[in-house]
Amino acid sequence: MTTTNHQAIAPSTAVESLRTALADAGIVLPSLAVDTASPHLGLVELGRVRADVAAQLAEALRNGGRS
pLDDT in tens, 18-64: 999 999 999 999 999 999 999 899 999 999 999 999 999 999 999 88
pLDDT band at 6 (very low <50, low <70, confident <90, very high): low
Question: Does a structural domain hold residue 32?
Answer: yes
In a domain, 67, yes or no: no
Question: For the whole model, what pTM was predicted?
Answer: 0.79
Is 40 among the domain residues?
yes
- Cα–Cα distances in angstroms (integers) from residue 3 to residues 6, 7, 11, 37, 50, in the given order: 9, 12, 16, 25, 29
Distances from the Cα of 65 to the Cα of 2, 8, 10, 37, 40, angstroms: 17, 24, 22, 30, 30
**Hey, is 34 helix, strand or coil?**
strand
- Three-class SS of residue 33? strand
pLDDT at 5: 59
pLDDT band at 13 (very low <50, low <70, confident <90, very high): very high
Q: How many domains is the chain built from?
A: 1
Answer whether residue 50 is part of any domain.
Answer: yes
pLDDT of residue 64: 85
In a domain, 1, yes or no: no
**Cβ-contact 34, 12 below 8 angstroms:** yes
The residue-averaged pLDDT of 4-24 equals 87
Range of the domain at 25: 6-62
